[in-house]
Amino acid sequence: MFLPKFDVNLSKTFKLYTMNTQATYKAFRVEENDGKFTTAIKDMPFLEISEGELLIKVSYSSLNYKDALSATGNKGVTRNFPHTPGIDATGVIVASHSNKFKIADEVIVTSYDLGMNTDGGFAEYVKVPVEWVVKLPAGLSMKEAMMIGTAGLTAGLSVLRLTETVQPDNGAIAVSGATGGVGSVSLAILNKLGYKTVAITSKNSEVDFLKKLGANEVILREDFENLDKKPLLKPLYAGAIDTVGGTILENLIKSVSPMGTVSCCGNVASPKLELTVFPFILRGVSLIGIDSQNYPMEYREKVWSKLATEWKLDTLAETTTEIALEDLQAKINLMLEGKLKGRTIIKL
C-alpha cells in the first residue's frame, strides 16, 4: 500500500482515496520464465512515491511499436522482467511530491523511460519523475491526447522540424509507413497545414483510408522499394517523413529536391542505410533524426500545444480503435505482423 513518508496532507488524501476505492491496481504484466515470455493481467500492490515523483491514476494509454517489442521480451527495449509496458499515459495526479503539479491535475506522460525499464501505462496507476510530465493543454481531452500518443508526438516533432525548412509551395511531402501510427498522424497534420502529400504503403486495401487522411497520391511500398539503384533519383518531393528506414529511406533521400529535408524516426523495415554522399553534397538535402524519447521538453510542450490548437485533428477518432486491457495482446500481435491500422488506445 502506498504511504508517503513525509507529507501528512498528501498521505491523508491518498489514504482516503484508496480506502474508498481499491487496495491493488491492475496491470498488463510481461513475465520471463526459462527465456520464454508470457503476458497476463495481474493485481499489483501500490508503491511508495519519493521526492520529485508523482502518482498518476491512468485514464488512457496507447499502443506503440516499442510496447509490442517490450511485451515480447525485446531486451533492447526492456532489460528486466517482470515488467509493465506502455510508453504513453494520460491521467489524473493522485499524489504529488512536486511544486509543479498538484492533486487532480490532468497530465500526459510519454516516452523517457516510461514502459521501457520503468513500469508503464498499461496499468491503472503509474509513478513517474516530475520531469517526464506535461500538463494536458487546454483544448485536448485525455482521450484525444492518447489518440495522438508517442506516435503522434513523433509525427508532430517530424512535421515541426520539416516545416522549419519546407513550405507548402515548395512541393509535395512523401510519408512512409503511411497507415501506421506515426505515418497516419503525419499525413493528417500536413494536410491540415496545406501541404500536398504522397503516402507510401504496403496496403493496397487502404488507399481510400489514406486519401481520406489527406494523401494526394498513394504509392505501393514494393514499387517504391524497387526503384533504380542509382545514387540520385528524379527529384520529386520537397521533403519526406520516413518511419520505416532501409531501402525506402534510401530512395526518399535520393528523390528529394535540392535543399529538401527528410526526417527519420523508425526502422521497422531495416536499420541499415546504403547511400552515397551525393544527395547531401549535390542537392543540399538535410536528414533530421527524430528521437521523441529524449526530445527536449520545450519541443514537446510546443508540439502538444499545437496539437491542441492549430494542428488539432478532427480525423483522430476515425483512425483510432479503443480497447480494454484484456484486448491488448491481440493488438500487439497484429502490430508485430505490420497489420495494425491507425492508432490503438487502451481505456483503464
Ligand X SMILES: NC(=O)c1ccc[n+]([C@@H]2O[C@H](COP(=O)([O-])OP(=O)(O)OC[C@H]3O[C@@H](n4cnc5c(N)ncnc54)[C@H](OP(=O)(O)O)[C@@H]3O)[C@@H](O)[C@H]2O)c1
For residue 291, state whether it binds ligand X (rule: CB under 6 A): yes
Q: How far is the CB of 136 from ligand X (least distance, A)?
A: 20
The C-alpha cell that represents 276 in the structure block:
552515397
Alpha helices, DSSP H, located in 226-277:
246-254
Q: Is 268 helix (H, G, I), strand (E, B) or coil?
A: coil
Would you say 115 or 266 has its CB closer to ligand X? 266
Which residue of this chain has its Cβ atom nearest to ligand X in the complex?
Answer: 180
For residue 313, state whether it binds ligand X (rule: CB under 6 A): no
Query: Smallest Cα–Cα separation from 342: which of 135, 202, 131, 182?
Result: 182
Query: Smallest Cα–Cα separation from 14: which of 2, 24, 6?
Result: 2
Q: How far is the CB of 267 from ligand X (least distance, A)?
A: 5
Q: Are 173 and 162 in contact (CB under 8 A)?
A: yes
For residue 182, state whether it binds ligand X (rule: CB under 6 A): yes
Would you say 65 or 195 has its CB closer to ligand X? 65
Work out which of 268, 273, 288, 323 binds ligand X, going by CB under 6 A.
268
For residue 265, state whether it binds ligand X (rule: CB under 6 A): yes
* Piece in contact with ligand X (CB under 6 A), picked from 29-37, 75-83, 89-97, 149-157: 149-157
For residue 286, state whether it binds ligand X (rule: CB under 6 A): no
CA–CA separation, 292 and 154 (whole Å): 6
Q: Is 220 helix (H, G, I), strand (E, B) or coil?
A: strand
Would you say 106 or 242 has its CB closer to ligand X? 242
For residue 66, state whether it binds ligand X (rule: CB under 6 A): yes
Q: Are 243 and 224 in contact (CB under 8 A)?
A: no
For residue 266, state whether it binds ligand X (rule: CB under 6 A): yes
For residue 300, state whether it binds ligand X (rule: CB under 6 A): no
SS3 letters across 95-118: EECCCCCCCCCEEEEECCCECCCE
> How many C-beta atoms surround the C-beta of residue 137 within 10 A?
16
For residue 254, state whether it binds ligand X (rule: CB under 6 A): no
Q: Where along the sequence are the contacts to ligand X (CB under 6 A)?
A: 64-66, 150-151, 154, 177-183, 201-203, 221, 243-244, 265-269, 290-293, 335, 338, 340
